[in-house]
Amino acid sequence: MRSINPYTQELIAEYEEHRLEEVQLFITKADRAQHLWANNPLSERVSYMRALALTLRSQKAELARLMTSEMGKPISESLAEVEKCAWLAEYLSEESHLGLDSRDVITEARHSYVTYEALGLILAVMPWNFPLWQVLQLSLPAIVAGNGILLKHASNVWGTALSIEKLFIQAGFPDHLFTTLLLTSKSIEPVVAHPAVRAVSLTGSESAGKSIAATAGRHLKKAVLELGGSDAFLVLPDAELQEAAVTAMQSRMLNSGQVCISAKRFLIHEDIFDDFVDAQIDLLSQLSIGDPMLPTTHIGPLARPELLLQLEAQLQASLQMGATCIYGGKRFNSHPQILEPSLLIDIQPDMPVWSEETFGPVMPLMRFKTLEEGIRLANDSRFGLGASIWTGDLELAKAILPKIEAGSVFVNSMVKSDPRLPFGGIKHSGFGRELSVEGIKEFVNIKTNWIN
C-alpha cells in the first residue's frame, strides 16, 4: 500500500498489509492484554490518561506534520487536532467515574446495584479526515472502561495509525492493549467474526456503515456507526449577520471542507440573503490556498484524487440543474487535488450539492421565507448529525431546538465535538454515541447485581 502526499504528489512510504495469520496472533495478544487491563481499578486506568496527554503534547509537532503530509490538512489544524486529543485524555482522567461508578438501586434485595464492565476487544474502523482525533475519540473512552482496541485505519494514513500505537506504548499502557492492524476493507470480516472481538465502531460513509452493520449483525456483535452528515445552518433575519457569516465559512472550510459535522446546507432568510452572500464572498476571498505545511494556509488539497473527482461531479451536476456558482468552482492553479472554495446560489433540494453529502469546500446557499419553511428544509435530509441555528431571540431558539432532527443542535455557534458532550447522529448519520458519559458507557456490559 502506497502513501502519497496529496499536495506534493510524492511517495511518503509503502506498507504491506498484515497477513491473516499475523492478525490472528495480534488478536490473541490483544485479548490477553485486555483481560489484564480490565482487572485494574478505574483509579489506575485513568492515571494512564494523564500520561497519554503529556505524551501527545511532547510530540505535537511531529504528529501534526505526519498527518498533514499523509492527508493534506493545513498544519495549523493538525496541531489543533493533537491538542484536542490531549484535552480528551485529561477530561477522561478526571471525569471517567461519572460513567463507570456502580449505582445502587433500592429494591427488596439486601443489596442491588448496577455495574459497568468492559466488553472486551473493540474493532475501530476509522477514517482519514481526522486521523488522530477520530481514533482517540472512540478509543480513549473505551479503554478507560477496560476495553482493548484493534484499529483498522484508512490506508492513506497508515503512518499515523502506527504512530498512535507507539503513543500508547510510550505513555506506559500495556503492550498490545491498542493494536494497529494494517488491513483493507475486504479483510475486515474475519476480525469481526473472531470470538475475542465483542463490538465494532465505524466512522465513514453510508455504504461502509451498511456493510459493517451487516457484518456485525451476522456475528451478533454490537456496532456503533457515525456516517457523516449534511448539517443545516439556519440563519434567521434577526441573527448577528457578520458573526453568522464568519462561522458559516469556518465550519464549511475547516479541513478543506472534509468534515463530517461541518455545515453543508446553508438556509438564509430572504430578508438578509443578499447581505449574507456579499459577506461570504468577502470572507472567501481572504482565504489562503496552497501548501498545507505553511501555517498561513487555510485551504489545502483533498486527501485523494478520486475525492476531488467525485466532488466536481456533484458540482457540475448541480450547475446543469440550474445552480449558479458565484465564487470559485474550479481547481486552484490546476492542482490535481485542490478545489477553490466555491459558493453556489439558486439551489433546489434535489441538487447533489444539497441532497448528498459533499466532502470539500463547496458552499450551497438557499433562501427561505418563513420559520416553518426553514425548519422543514433543515429536516429534509436523510442525514441527522448536527445543525446550527442563528437568531437573536434565544427563547425562539429554545422552541426550535426540539423540532430539529439531529444528534446535536448548536445555537449561535458552530457544531463541534467536545469531550464533555455526547457525539453521534440519527437517521443515515448512524447510531450510538462517543465522548462524555454516554460514550464511556457505549462499550460496557451494564450488569444487574442482586444480593440476598
What is the DSSP annotation of 117-139?
EE--EEEEEE-SSSTTHHHHHHH
Residues catalogued as catalytic: 226, 260
User: Under DSSP, is residue 180 helix (H, G, I), strand (E, B) or coil?
Assistant: strand
The C-alpha atoms of residue 398 and residue 121 are separated, in whole angstroms, by: 41
Query: What is the DSSP secondary-structure string of 243-261?
Result: HHHHHHHHHHHGGGG--TT
Which residues of the chain fall short of a pLDDT of 50? none
The 8-class DSSP code of residue 423 comes to: B
- Residue pLDDT, tens place only, 152-172: 999 999 999 999 999 999 999
Strand pairing category for 342-345 and 324-327: antiparallel
**Cβ atoms of residues 372 and 350 within 8 Å:** no
pLDDT at residue number 303: 98
This prediction has a pTM of 0.97
- Cα 379 to chain centroid distance, Å, stands at 21
**Cβ atoms of residues 189 and 212 within 8 Å:** no
Name residue 345's amino acid. I
**Cβ atoms of residues 385 and 261 within 8 Å:** yes
Domains annotated on the chain, with CATH: 2-227+429-451 (3.40.605.10), 231-418 (3.40.309.10)
pLDDT at residue number 175: 97
Strand pairing category for 386-390 and 231-235: parallel
The 8-class DSSP code of residue 72 comes to: -
Question: Cell 473512552, residue?
Answer: 141
The 8-class DSSP code of residue 18 comes to: P
- DSSP E strands in 44-192: the ranges are 103-104, 111-118, 121-126, 148-153, 178-180
pLDDT at residue number 84: 98
- Residue pLDDT, tens place only, 55-109: 999 999 999 999 999 999 999 999 999 999 999 999 999 999 989 999 999 999 9
The C-alpha atoms of residue 452 and residue 446 are separated, in whole angstroms, by: 20
